[in-house]
């Protein structure tokens, strides 16, 4: 009788694990789906703005360029402070709106770099991103300590980039880009593991849907910044 009970417990535990694993896969697919849609929106808006001379001149040839530069950063702060009060649909809509704003900001790359170098930087970023995302998802190593180090590096990059906006040092820009490639590559693995771990706490709750959007935002920012850093280092200018 006891043996039969043990078999039932093992079978039940296995079923619970299967359900949890299926939920985790669906959650991660939701994260990457939202991220992918955000990248598509950004790419379409950037291509439209960058390849429409009148529109590009109206934005980048006027003080509006500062709005285009700082609006994405303001959006991230807004998102971080308001996410808890948003509905899932509202959070998703805000993310896609942010992706469109980021597209306006990135449209300038079409005015500075050749199409071939933009494509090369994009595919290089994609390969690096996918490799690190896969490692972050499958590794048994705890990346928490690495994450703390990378966050400090990220803060340093943000501060240095803001300073260099006004200094305009090409040497400083190169150093920022090199460090940025390392930081955002590492953050990709760390964020994927963090998003995966968070699912253990939010599985089965409505907030898990919003966490998909927040996870997509984190990975989206990693990819976009990695792309920009690689383009700055390897891009061929017009």
The structural domain count of the chain equals: 1
| Mean pLDDT over each residue of the chain, to the nearest integer | 85
Whether residue 217 is predicted with pLDDT greater than 90 in this model: the reply is yes
Residue 36 vs residue 237, higher pLDDT: 36
What is the Cα–Cα distance from 61 to 125, expressed in whole angstroms?
29
Host domain of residue 182 = 2-234
The partner residues of 237 in beta bridges, in order of sequence, read 113
* The pLDDT of residue 193: 93
Whether residue 225 is predicted with pLDDT greater than 60 in this model: the reply is yes
Cα-Cα-Cα-Cα dihedral sign, residues 27, 147, 219, 185: negative
Which among 50-64, 88-102, 124-138 has the top mean pLDDT?
A: 124-138
Give which of 164, 166, 186 is closest to 232, Cα–Cα.
164
* The pLDDT of residue 27: 86
pLDDT category, 227, cuts 50, 70, 90?
Answer: very high
* The pLDDT of residue 199: 82
Q: What percentage of the chain has pLDDT greater than the value 90?
A: 41
């Amino acid at each position: 009788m006891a043996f039969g009970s043990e078999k039932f417990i093992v079978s039940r535990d296995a079923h619970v694990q299967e359900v949890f694993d299926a939920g985790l896969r669906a959650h991660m697919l939701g994260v990457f789906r939202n991220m992918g849609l955000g990248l598509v929106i950004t790419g379409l808006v950037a291509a439209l703005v960058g390849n429409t001379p009148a529109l590009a001149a109206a934005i980048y040839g006027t003080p509006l360029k500062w709005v285009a530069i700082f609006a994405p950063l303001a959006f991230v702060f807004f998102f971080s402070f308001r996410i808890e009060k948003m509905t899932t649909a509202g959070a998703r809509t805000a993310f896609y709106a942010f992706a469109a704003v980021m597209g306006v900001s990135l449209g300038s790359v079409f005015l500075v770099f050749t199409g071939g170098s933009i494509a090369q930087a994009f595919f290089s970023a994609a390969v690096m991103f996918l490799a690190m995302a896969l490692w972050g998802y499958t590794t048994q190593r705890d990346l928490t300590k690495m994450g703390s180090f990378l966050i400090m590096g990220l803060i340093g990059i943000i501060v240095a980039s803001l300073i260099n906006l006004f200094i305009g040092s090409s040497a400083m820009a190169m150093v920022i880009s090199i460090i940025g490639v390392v930081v955002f590559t590492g953050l990709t693995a760390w964020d994927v593991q963090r998003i995966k771990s968070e699912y253990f706490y939010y599985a089965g709750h409505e907030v898990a849907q919003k966490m998909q959007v927040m996870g997509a935002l984190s990975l989206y920012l990693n990819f976009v910044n990695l792309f920009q850093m690689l383009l700055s280092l390897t891009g061929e200018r017009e």
